[in-house]
Structure 1
Amino acid sequence: MKPHYLTPLFSPRNVAVIGASDTPGSLGQAVFANLLAGNFQGKLFPVNLNRRMVGGKMAFSSVRLIAEPVDLAVVVTALRTLPAVMRDCGKKGVKAVLLGKDFSDSDELERDILTEAMAIARYHGIRVLGPNVLGLMRPVAGFNASNYTGTVRPGNLALVSQSSALCAAMLDWADTKAIGFSSVVSVGEALDVDFGEILDFLVADRSTQGILLHIHHIHNARRFMSALRAAARSKPVVVIKSGRFEDHVTGLTHTSSLVESGDVFDTALARAGVLRVATIAQLFTAVKVLAANYRVIGKRLAIVTNGIGPGVLAADSAYANGVELATLSDETMALLNDSLPRNWSHGNPVDIIGDASPMRFRTAAKVCLDDPGVDGVLVIFTPQAGTDHLTTAQLMVGLQRETGKPLLLSWLGDAKVSSSRELFTKAKCVHFRAPEYGIEVFRNLASYHHNQQLLLQTPGPLEGMRAEPNVARARAVIAEALASGRTILPEYASKAVLAAFNIPVNPTELATDADQAVQLAERFGYPVVLKVDSPDIIYKSDVGGVELNISNENTLRQAFAAILQRAREKRPLARLNGVTVQPMQKRRTAREVMVGVAQDAIFGPVITFGTGGIAVEVIDDLTISLPPLNDYLVESMIGKTRVGQTLGAFKNLPPIKREALKDVLLRVSEMVCELPELRELDINPLMVDEEGVLALDARMIVGEVRGSSRRRYSHMAIMPYPMHMLHCATLKDGTRVTIRPVRPEDAEMQQDFVRNLSEESRYNRYMSSIKQLSQSVLVRFTQLDYDREMALAMTRANDDGAEEMLAVARFMTDPDFEACEFALEVADRWQGKGIGPVLMEALFEAAREQGLSTMRGEVLAANKGMLKLMHRLGFKVEPHPEDRSLTLVSKELQPGAESVVTAG
């Protein structure tokens, strides 16, 4: 894999500072002085029109006059100079520019100048960071291109912040806590280089073990989510968000009015497998805990203390933070009864009495940690007569090494326990001055575990064995509306789209006069419901536009006229198409829920679920998720709502048919994936009971799809599982096989595949005599981001009916997303069955779909079937000038661009 294209920015060899100065107090002096003082191993070149020397180094009047190549130019000159400076950098061949000034308050003329400068940068292929006022630091490399005046220690955390002021505050706070950094990046306005690209670089950066993000806004949701998910698979990522109450969700439906952008952002972060915190202190504490490999699998906490008062206060804090106090098992209770004084609390919190010895502390904590119903233990020590804080602390340090569960320590007091705190710090044990902080950290650990589970979910748009939807029919309904200039679909058209995706709907038809309404009512059967139909009236009940339980013709005719009259009085300018007629549904045990879709300006479509009915905006009971969904995500959504607690056996009501409700949410997820024209949707109410589900009312808003959104699934923040790539084939010996993209649940099958390879095959593939894949490599191979990589498995059903992997082909894109490296593995006993050409053809089709221009990889040059495949796909076979392998040149992957496949 070639170096990341941002390497000139983050790891430059030669740096020019345009505007470097000796003037005290100037930005040019501050930045150049920091570079000189930072022990930077590369070469520094000051650029100054008026000085021959700056900081003891020869200065140049233009970057073009520097004889040596320049990787990075740090620009701290006035805004008016930027276009000329950018032209000089382009002609010099500078690859990256750091704009070290803040131009956020510029007027319209100055913004035009900045726009011109950015256009010049794009023309010359220059990547630009900023503009911002702080800069860029790589403390592990002694590189400090910033005006920050404090101390920044080297370490293994990367800090990326959109606010220079907040970044400086975090650096100052971190210095007092002896926290060091691998990188500090002040993103600023992010006119070019954004969070997604920076995260891509940090994922591959070996100096970075954890990532801290401060985010105010993002520009490219797909790139951001893709990079964030990639980072979260290998390193803990903790995010602090500002501007939570800025609203990026606007629309006409109930769903849009109920969804807030802050909630969408939280949902996106959770789905990416990262942790969101609220304060700077939580930010650093959380990442230290995660980096120390503290992990939990639930939120059940046991509290061990020698003071019932602090224990009860900690229990109150746990309740307030949504942390569950663990119920101790009978075996645990018996062991504690045998080990503790008779007057211990006999419950959780475990009060082991004020004079507790170090061994009593250790015994109680160990017994609780061994309880399978306990996910973590908080130990609270209070200095009392007969206690020994330091020996107790030493025993806790040893106990932490024996368990994989988090052991959180809080030694109350100050001077009396200071030596214990020093011991915890040296031993890198997480400890807190107050138990409440420990509770917050445990809650964050539980949230992180939950989010990591969400990260594993890669559902497809059309997942499972459900009946195929009639996507063409749904698209035809939407296209007809858009062609006639309508964006708000009437109820009957909205239900037609739902029905096309196999969502049960109450049949609804439009009547333009009372006679037609009577005919429809007789066909449906009384009683019926009448509703006004108008593209200008979203909520029909607001204008008295609904009449229920109409049981005969006379009542229907009166209701028909009354509805239209009330609508004209309330909305005189509204266009009235007529009145819809539908059967009146009465189900005694039914509950009403709402399923919807809203559109976030950043993250695109979001799916909602909650309480339905006419009081939906009053009853705040809604949960959201980013599509695509699967069973795990749907269950999580339902479980978070209050109405979700009523869907089982509730009072005198039988449990609903839960699978039918889940199916509706999955079908709506399918709609969102396959219909980029869908902007908003309300299914309210959706009636659910023991018989199934029925959409009583629906409203859909659609819009044209333009530009890049026409590419498949580009309207979504998360790429769904590419189900369309699944197909069956027959090998030349008659074996029926399936070719499909790899999924996270294939981890064990992938591991078995590698274990069953011969030692020679494993060595040739991995250049190592491994017996099996490490956990990190296994995660990397099976938890894929299909937007930037692909792995296709060829499988068959073995004699036991289980799925067996015969071969796997994969490619991973370069950071520039223009080229990729591919590899092919075939199980030893399946060699010579014609697998290579079949699987590689599928892989090349996947690369073609992603628009890649170059592929580099290894195939056997002696494999005649593979060479025939290359010729058939249009590859030209040529000798490689350096390594005597084959170079395969094609114009197939991307029209007008050559692609190269190296076959060794």
Structure 2
Amino acid sequence: MKPHYLTPLFSPRSVAVIGASDTPGSVGQAVFTSLVAGNFQGKLYPVNLNRKVVGGFPAYASVRQIDAAIDLAVVATPIRALPAVMRECGRHGVKTMLLAKDFSDSVPLERELLAESLALARRHGIRVLGPVVLGMMRPVAGLLASSYSGKVRPGNLALVAQSSALCAAMLDWADSKDIGFSSVVPLGEALDVDFGEVLDFLVADPFTQGILLHVHHIHDARRFMSALRAAGRVKPVVVIKSGRFEEGDDGLGVLARRVDSGEVFDAALARAGVLKVSTIAQLFTAAKVLAANYRVQGPRLAIVVNGVGPGVLAADSAIRLGVELATLAEPTIALLNDALPRNWSRGNPVDIIGDASPMRYRTAVKACLDDPGVDGVLVIFTPQAGTDHLSTAQLMVGLQREASKPIFLSWLGEAKVSESRELFSKARCAHFRAPEYAIEVFQSLAAYHHNQQLLLQTPGPLEGKREEPDLAGARALIRTALAEGRSILAEREAKAVLAAFNIPVNPSALAHSDDEAASLAEAMGYPVVLKIDSPDILYKSDVGGVELNIGNEIALREAYHVIVTRARLARPEARIDGVTVQPMRKRRYGRELVVGVVHDETFGPVMTFGAGGVAVDLLHDQTIALPPLNGFLADAMIDRTRIGKTLAGFKHLPAVDRDALREVMLRVSEMVCELPEIREIDINPLLVDADGAVVLDARLALAAAPANGKRYGHMAIMPYPSDKVKSLTLRDGTPVSVRPVRPEDAQMQQAFVAGLSEESRYNRYMSSIKQLSQQMLVRFTQLDYDREMGLSMVRERADGGEEQLAIARYVTDPDNESCEFALVVADAWQGRGIGPVLMTMLFDAARDQGLKLMHGEVLAGNKAMLKLMHALGFEVKPHPEDRSLAVVSKRLSGDAPGGSTGE
């Protein structure tokens, strides 16, 4: 794949500093001095109208006088000169620009100059970073285009921040801790280059092993999430957020007002597989621990200590931080009973008594590590009579090298244990002066593991083999309401939309008079519920518009008139269409829940789940997640609520039908994926018991669909593209399916590669690999369908599993206009026309994404592939630098590619 288009910004071979100066205190002097002092290995060109020499370098009056290509222009001039500077840079062919001054407090005229300059940059194809007062740094390349006066060490962490002030504080803190950076990128206002593009560059940057982000606001949620998920798959990413609870759109209903922007941002980070922290110290600590490859596989912590007091305090800290104290298994308890003094604690924390010897420590810690119910062990040592801190430390270092689970070490004290701490530092063990810091890190690792599990989920809007929804019917209802100028559906309409997606609802029938209501109730059977029907009244109970448990016709007629009268008195301007009649659902052991959707201005639709009925405002028991959901994500939402703990059976209450609840949540997720006009959904209550789930009441708010024209363009996370799934029959009669690759295909892909001949593996991977590495498996199966596609042809085996016959994939180039493709067919299935079928479908997918060019490299000796490329209309040329390769490319425009598929 060709280099990222931001390479000239982060790895320039030539830099022009426009406004470079020798004037003390000026931005131009500070930036140029930093570049010279940083020992930048490329060419430096100072540009100054009034000086012939700046800092000992020949100066130029204009960029146009420089007789060389310029990768990066650093601009430190007043804003009034910026449009002229931009024109000169555009004519000279400058590729990228850094605005190293802050224009955020400019007067309106200067803002107009900035807008004019950015328009010129777009016209000339110049990418612009900033404006940002701190500049930008690439310490690993000696590129310090910054006015920062402190020391910045080279290292393997990248820091990307929106605030220059916060970035400077982070750099100062990092210097005191000997932390270095591959890149330091303050984004400032991010008027052009934004988070997503910078993250895309850092994902493939070999100098970056971990990424630290400071985020205040997001411009492009889809690009941000795509880039963040791509980074989270291969590198640890830690995020700190400012402005968590800024005012936003409260929405139409109370459900929207119970969800704040900070919670939505947290949910987005969880789906991206990254870790959120609250302080700068936590940011760097988490990054160092993750970069050192410390990982946990769950949230359960065991504590081993030689003293009850420190153990109890540590346990209190764990509970306060939401860390689960592991319950030791019976075999572990039995082993410790044999090995420890009789007065040991017989539980977690494991108090092994004050005089614990090094071997007693090792025995207890090893037993906890071997317990399947333990995910990590915190070892606390207090120097007491009979203890040996250094020998104990040496045994812990050796045990950590043997163990697959992490050990967190906290040797309390100062002078007496300093030698042990030095040993831990040299051995790169996770050690902490206080146990609560260790517990914080464990909690962060557990959250990171949970988020990485969420990252693996790529659910589709139509997951599995469930009954198809009535999309046409739902869309017709919504179109009618919007055409009438209505943003709220009546309850019966909302239930009709839910029913179209096969969500069980309590039926509602509209009555325009008490006679009609009596007739409907007779048909349904008493008792019934009456509710006012008005498109202008969102919450019927607010106007007394609900009467429950009506048992006979006399009571029904009276209730009908009472409801209408109350509503007209409370809301005289409201249009009242009548009263709906519904069966009265009585379920003795039912739980009232709420399932909903709210709209976030940045991330789009957000799903909510929690306790419903009157408890919705009393308990504030809810969790949120970004759709689309699958079973794993729905279960995770349920399990994070207090009401969720009662669903499996609670005291006298029998367990509910969890499958039915999960199905409702998945169907609601499906609705918001397929119906971009949905702004809010409030299903409350959703009644669930052992016999299933039913919607008793529902509200649905609408807005015009986004005008971007893309399917799922309203979603921050691209759903699984189920529309690309096709069933085919090969010419020999073999039934096959072609579908986009899923994360659970990893082992199938590994078996596919292992089954290829050595020649086929070399033709595809240009190496003699026997199997894919874990990193390659992740890269090939965890796809972001918004920027890449993998189409797998599979057939069903006799045992019900799947066998992969072939795979074709493309990855979008950074320019978002072209893509690089690959194709490989199993040896036993070659010559059956599979290649043209897959490539034709790959062309269609690329066109759907708006791509214009597909290209790739083929070994010149791979005659079969070159023949196929010719047949499909690819242009084939010799590689300009490597005679063993051919370059193939095809414009994705006009009719479908030529060539007979033979299928």
Structure 2 length-normalised TM: 0.96
Partner residue in 2 for 1:338 = 338
Partner residue in 1 for 2:581 = 581
Partner residue in 1 for 2:520 = 520
One-letter amino acid of the counterpart of residue 543, structure 1:
V
Partner residue in 1 for 2:129 = 129
- 8 Å contact kept, 2:856–2:888: no
Matched, 1:811 2:810: yes
Partner residue in 1 for 2:379 = 379
**Distance in 1 between residues matched to 2:425 and 2:314, nearest whole Å:** 22
Taking the TM superposition and a 5 Å limit, the aligned residue runs for 1:457-472 are: 457-472=457-472
Secondary structure of residue in 2 paired with 1:617: helix
Secondary structure of residue in 2 paired with 1:148: coil
Report the identity percentage. 70
Partner residue in 1 for 2:703 = 703
- 8 Å contact kept, 1:841–1:869: no
Shift of 1:437: 0.4
Shift of 1:615: 3.9
Partner residue in 2 for 1:106 = 106
Partner residue in 2 for 1:902 = none
Partner residue in 2 for 1:17 = 17
One-letter amino acid of the counterpart of residue 675, structure 1:
L
Shift of 1:34: 0.6
**Distance in 1 between residues matched to 2:59 and 2:251, nearest whole Å:** 57
Partner residue in 2 for 1:722 = 721
Shift of 1:75: 1.1
Matched, 1:352 2:352: yes
**Distance in 2 between residues matched to 1:579 and 1:288, nearest whole Å:** 63
- 8 Å contact kept, 1:249–1:598: no
Partner residue in 1 for 2:901 = none
Shift of 1:765: 1.7
Residues 403 and 353 of structure 1: is their aligned pair in 2 closer, same or farther, counting only changes over 3 Å? same
**Distance in 1 between residues matched to 2:829 and 2:339, nearest whole Å:** 60
> Residues 109-140 of structure 1: CA distance to partner in whole angstroms, max 9, x if unpaired?
22222111111111111111111111211111
Taking the TM superposition and a 5 Å limit, the aligned residue runs for 1:551-700 are: 551-700=551-700
Residues 585 and 282 of structure 1: is their aligned pair in 2 closer, same or farther, counting only changes over 3 Å? same
Secondary structure of residue in 1 paired with 2:331: helix
Shift of 1:619: 2.0
Partner residue in 2 for 1:417 = 417
- 8 Å contact kept, 1:253–1:681: no
> Residues 680-728 of structure 1: CA distance to partner in whole angstroms, max 9, x if unpaired?
01111111112111111111111112421x2111110111111111111
One-letter amino acid of the counterpart of residue 387, structure 2:
T
Partner residue in 2 for 1:323 = 323
Taking the TM superposition and a 5 Å limit, the aligned residue runs for 1:267-278 are: 267-278=267-278
- 8 Å contact kept, 1:378–1:407: yes
One-letter amino acid of the counterpart of residue 810, structure 1:
R
Residues 282 and 682 of structure 1: is their aligned pair in 2 closer, same or farther, counting only changes over 3 Å? same
Shift of 1:374: 1.3
Partner residue in 2 for 1:866 = 868
Moved more, 772-781 or 76-85: 76-85
Partner residue in 2 for 1:740 = 739
Shift of 1:778: 0.8
Shift of 1:102: 1.4
Taking the TM superposition and a 5 Å limit, the aligned residue runs for 1:197-276 are: 197-276=197-276
> Residues 641-660 of structure 1: CA distance to partner in whole angstroms, max 9, x if unpaired?
11112222222222211111
Secondary structure of residue in 2 paired with 1:808: strand
**Distance in 2 between residues matched to 1:377 and 1:528, nearest whole Å:** 58
- 8 Å contact kept, 2:277–2:283: yes
Taking the TM superposition and a 5 Å limit, the aligned residue runs for 1:77-156 are: 77-156=77-156
One-letter amino acid of the counterpart of residue 819, structure 1:
S
Residues 868 and 42 of structure 1: is their aligned pair in 2 closer, same or farther, counting only changes over 3 Å? closer
Secondary structure of residue in 1 paired with 2:402: coil
Secondary structure of residue in 1 paired with 2:685: strand
- 8 Å contact kept, 1:789–1:812: yes
Shift of 1:106: 2.2
Partner residue in 2 for 1:785 = 784
**Distance in 2 between residues matched to 1:864 and 1:383, nearest whole Å:** 72
Residues 689 and 886 of structure 1: is their aligned pair in 2 closer, same or farther, counting only changes over 3 Å? same
**Distance in 1 between residues matched to 2:896 and 2:11, nearest whole Å:** 30
Partner residue in 2 for 1:304 = 304
**Distance in 2 between residues matched to 1:578 and 1:342, nearest whole Å:** 76
Secondary structure of residue in 2 paired with 1:687: strand
- 8 Å contact kept, 1:851–1:894: no
**Distance in 1 between residues matched to 2:821 and 2:412, nearest whole Å:** 57
Secondary structure of residue in 1 paired with 2:795: strand
Residues 69 and 888 of structure 1: is their aligned pair in 2 closer, same or farther, counting only changes over 3 Å? closer
One-letter amino acid of the counterpart of residue 646, structure 1:
T
Residues 865 and 837 of structure 1: is their aligned pair in 2 closer, same or farther, counting only changes over 3 Å? farther
Secondary structure of residue in 1 paired with 2:616: coil
Secondary structure of residue in 2 paired with 1:245: coil
Secondary structure of residue in 2 paired with 1:616: helix
**Distance in 2 between residues matched to 1:188 and 1:878, nearest whole Å:** 44
**Distance in 2 between residues matched to 1:627 and 1:895, nearest whole Å:** 35
Q: Output the aligned Cα RMSD.
A: 2.0
One-letter amino acid of the counterpart of residue 820, structure 2:
E
One-letter amino acid of the counterpart of residue 819, structure 2:
C
Moved more, 349-358 or 86-95: 349-358
One-letter amino acid of the counterpart of residue 329, structure 1:
A
Residues 800 and 428 of structure 1: is their aligned pair in 2 closer, same or farther, counting only changes over 3 Å? same
**Distance in 2 between residues matched to 1:862 and 1:153, nearest whole Å:** 52
> Residues 664-695 of structure 1: CA distance to partner in whole angstroms, max 9, x if unpaired?
00000110110011110111111111211111
One-letter amino acid of the counterpart of residue 50, structure 1:
N
Matched, 1:361 2:361: yes
One-letter amino acid of the counterpart of residue 738, structure 1:
S
Task: Give unmatched runs, 5+ long, in structure 1.
Answer: 900-904
**Distance in 2 between residues matched to 1:881 and 1:788, nearest whole Å:** 26
- 8 Å contact kept, 2:80–2:110: yes
**Distance in 1 between residues matched to 2:372 and 2:523, nearest whole Å:** 61
Residues 43 and 503 of structure 1: is their aligned pair in 2 closer, same or farther, counting only changes over 3 Å? same
- 8 Å contact kept, 1:136–1:144: yes
> Residues 143-181 of structure 1: CA distance to partner in whole angstroms, max 9, x if unpaired?
101111111111111111111111111111111111111
> Residues 444-479 of structure 1: CA distance to partner in whole angstroms, max 9, x if unpaired?
111111110000000111011110000111000000
Secondary structure of residue in 1 paired with 2:315: helix
One-letter amino acid of the counterpart of residue 257, structure 1:
R
Aligned residues: 893
Matched, 1:532 2:532: yes
One-letter amino acid of the counterpart of residue 806, structure 1:
L
Partner residue in 1 for 2:832 = 833
**Distance in 1 between residues matched to 2:36 and 2:867, nearest whole Å:** 59
Residues 288 and 897 of structure 1: is their aligned pair in 2 closer, same or farther, counting only changes over 3 Å? farther
- 8 Å contact kept, 1:254–1:617: no
Moved more, 837-846 or 594-603: 837-846
Moved more, 647-656 or 135-144: 647-656
Matched, 1:849 2:848: yes
Residues 635 and 869 of structure 1: is their aligned pair in 2 closer, same or farther, counting only changes over 3 Å? farther
- 8 Å contact kept, 1:861–1:885: no
Shift of 1:401: 1.1
One-letter amino acid of the counterpart of residue 797, structure 1:
E
One-letter amino acid of the counterpart of residue 755, structure 2:
N
Shift of 1:862: 4.3
**Distance in 1 between residues matched to 2:224 and 2:233, nearest whole Å:** 14
Moved more, 299-308 or 11-20: 299-308
- 8 Å contact kept, 2:45–2:60: yes
Task: Give unmatched runs, 5+ long, in structure 2.
Answer: 899-903
> Residues 370-409 of structure 1: CA distance to partner in whole angstroms, max 9, x if unpaired?
2222111111111223333223222222221111211101
Residues 777 and 685 of structure 1: is their aligned pair in 2 closer, same or farther, counting only changes over 3 Å? same
Moved more, 343-352 or 791-800: 343-352
Secondary structure of residue in 2 paired with 1:401: helix
One-letter amino acid of the counterpart of residue 417, structure 1:
V
One-letter amino acid of the counterpart of residue 834, structure 2:
I
One-letter amino acid of the counterpart of residue 400, structure 1:
Q
Shift of 1:876: 6.4
Shift of 1:81: 1.7
Moved more, 214-223 or 85-94: 85-94
**Distance in 2 between residues matched to 1:863 and 1:649, nearest whole Å:** 60
**Distance in 1 between residues matched to 2:644 and 2:789, nearest whole Å:** 37
**Distance in 1 between residues matched to 2:497 and 2:706, nearest whole Å:** 21
**Distance in 1 between residues matched to 2:202 and 2:724, nearest whole Å:** 31
